[in-house]
A and B are shown apart, each in its own frame.
Chain A
Amino acid sequence: MTRSWVTRGALGVLGLLVAAAIAGPWLAPYPPTDVVGAPFAPPGPGAPLGTDYLGGDVASRLLHGGRTVIGLALAATALGLFAGAAVGVAAGLSGRADAALMRPIDVLLAVPPFLVLAVLAAGSGRGMLVVVGATALANVPGIARVVRAAVLETRTRGYVEVALARGESWLSVAGRDILPNIAATMLSDVGSRVSAAIAMVAGANFLGFGLQPPTADWALMVAENRSGLALQPWAVLAPATAIAVLTIAVNIGGDQLAARLRGAAGRRRFRPAADDVPAAAR
């Protein structure tokens, strides 16, 4: 099957990249900020991928620069998921919260994430926190709406009503009856969300709104070395390819995870079983 082959490939590559990003700093031959040769020197014995615009070792910086890309994107997605789910559950359960929260959420959904980033970066200065905050904020409206819809649908279910009639608290009902049943919906697009978060975080770093040189970061490396693309393509292509492979692997791996979750939720739907034999005929 092509599908499972693609999935396995994507998950394998993803595992490799994450492992390299985590272990990279220990494997790298040089510290990320050391000058090891002339600027934009081609690959040679000392520097397998050549040097960058300041004469730093591209391979070492590559091994150091994955943590920020993956870490910031994961932090932003987690923050967005948490905030979005909190808003969605509150809006789904309480009419008053719904009115107060969903109007701003609808507006936020219509605002380009780049503008949020631009306004935050201009308003409070550049930095890592601004990038993570803007990326998380870009995720909130979508997640909040999905979760709210799922909560509204789930709360009319018989098992929720019966539990409420039994006198169980909202917290207990949310934990046992609502969250387990909307988890699949909530996580169904987590792959594309992480992938989009990587793209947004990397884009912001590329434009210089987030991390600043001399930090080793894949997106920053592309930005710094762009002017030497003709002289020393490795300094640009290596980090660009790393980001490309990472986002693709996350997206495809996440898609398959989503399909599996949807499948699991689908299998749990009611279907008549063969043992519904007429009572009178038994």
Chain B
Amino acid sequence: MTSYVLGRLAAAAGVVWAASVAIFAAMQLLPGDAVDVIYAKGAGSGTVSPEQKAQLRAELGLDRPVVDRYVDWMSGVLRGDLGRSLFSGREVTEIVGARLPNTLALAAVAAVCLAPLAIALGAWAGARAGAARDRVISIGSVTLGSLPEFVTATLLIAVFAFAWPVLPAVSLVAPGTSPLLTPEVLVLPVVTLLAVMAPQTIRMVRAQMAEAMTSPYVRMARLHGIPERRIVTRHALRNALAPAMPLLAGSITWLVGGIVVVETVFNYPGVSQDLVRAIAQRDLPYVQSVTLLFAVVTATGYLAADLAVVALAPRLRTTPGWRR
């Protein structure tokens, strides 16, 4: 058990490390570096001499070997120093720090609503595969789950902010306060995220549940005269959830992209607007650090799901190395 948890921790750390290398490599090795970006942005790029560029490279430390720069960056990250934005010159931690709590609040509310909603609907549909309620939920989730986030968000705004104005189209949060204090600004963003992410999880739980309901142990429980209700809750659901858990964690990977779009559509004061701007302007130090931050959040989500699986599937708890 302990070795399993430690193993998963090591795996999560490995993923984060690999992500940091990949991010750094993409930023530094793809054509065009920060200096080109700065001069391309700045006035009169045509008049810049190679000497000026070389000087700026030396100032920014870009003339040093790639491995050294990676080590510098990582040791900074580990100390809590994410570097400076190329454009505003401010500390990345400062820019992100002010808005990160808002993003985390949105993500947390969405994630907390997602799991119970998706599991309940998926299990309810899967317990009676082929019944009317199953068809309605299946077709409904295929329909909602197909839409890109910005389309769902736009349609929701058109309906609930303009046609029937009950909710704000723009998420105004006064600086220094939390969106949790003005829950109405969270409703449409959270509903958008749920509409996009829940369907995948619902379909997964539904499929696992439907399979569990046809399993030999469920048939056996029926032949033992166990009431149907208990069969669903005690026998099928538990076995259906274990395989669905990693996939539930997988939906975190979509949450990251979803939040960026949703924050953009609703002008929500999170980190995304800065991030989108930074990507467009190729503010490399900023993008590099924030994407790494996102990778850490994702890996933590996976880890949590892995540990949930261990709690649900006793096989894992008692037989080490069962997975491979």
Q: Do chains A and B touch in the complex (CB under 8 A)?
A: yes
**In the complex, which residues of chain A have a beta carbon less than 8 angstroms from the beta carbon of B146?**
192, 195, 199, 244, 247-248, 250-251
Number of interface residues of A (CB under 8 A): 53
Q: Mark B17-35, 1 if CB is under 8 A from A, else 0.
A: 0110011001101111000
Known: A122-B27, A203-B149. A111 touches B158 (CB 8 A): no
B139 within 8 A of A: yes
**In the complex, which residues of chain A have a beta carbon less than 8 angstroms from the beta carbon of B169?**
229
Q: How many A-B residue pairs have CB under 8 A?
A: 160
Pick the interface stretch among A85-93, A170-178, A230-238, A264-272: A230-238
Q: Mark B286-304, 1 if CB is under 8 A from A, else 0.
A: 0110010011001100100
Q: How far is the CA of A229 from the CA of B266 in the complex (A)?
A: 13
B298 touches A112 (CB 8 A): yes
A4 within 8 A of B: no
**In the complex, which residues of chain B have a beta carbon less than 8 angstroms from the beta carbon of A122?**
26-27, 278-279, 282-284, 287-288
Q: How large is the interface on B (under 10, 10 to 19, 20 to 34, 35 or more residues)?
A: 35 or more
Q: Mark B245-277, 1 if CB is under 8 A from A, else 0.
A: 000001011111100110011000000000110
**In the complex, which residues of chain A have a beta carbon less than 8 angstroms from the beta carbon of B294?**
112, 115
Known: A112-B294, A255-B142. A207 touches B299 (CB 8 A): no
Q: How far is the CA of A49 from the CA of B211 in the complex (A)?
A: 48
A280 within 8 A of B: no
A221 CB, min distance to chain B CBs, angstroms: 11
Q: Which residues of B contact A (CB under 8 A)?
A: 14-15, 18-19, 22-23, 26-27, 29-32, 135, 139, 142-143, 145-151, 154-155, 157-158, 162, 169, 250, 252-257, 260-261, 264-265, 275-276, 278-280, 282-284, 287-288, 291, 294-295, 298-299, 302
| 11 extra interface residue pairs, beta carbon distance < 8 Å, beyond A207-B264, A240-B150, A247-B146 | A106-B15, A107-B14, A113-B254, A114-B256, A115-B256, A121-B279, A121-B280, A125-B32, A202-B148, A207-B276, A252-B143
25 residue pairs A–B, Cβ–Cβ below 8 Å: A106-B15, A107-B14, A107-B18, A110-B253, A110-B302, A112-B253, A112-B255, A112-B257, A112-B298, A113-B253, A114-B257, A114-B260, A119-B27, A120-B30, A121-B279, A122-B287, A124-B31, A125-B32, A199-B148, A203-B149, A244-B147, A244-B155, A247-B146, A248-B142, A252-B139
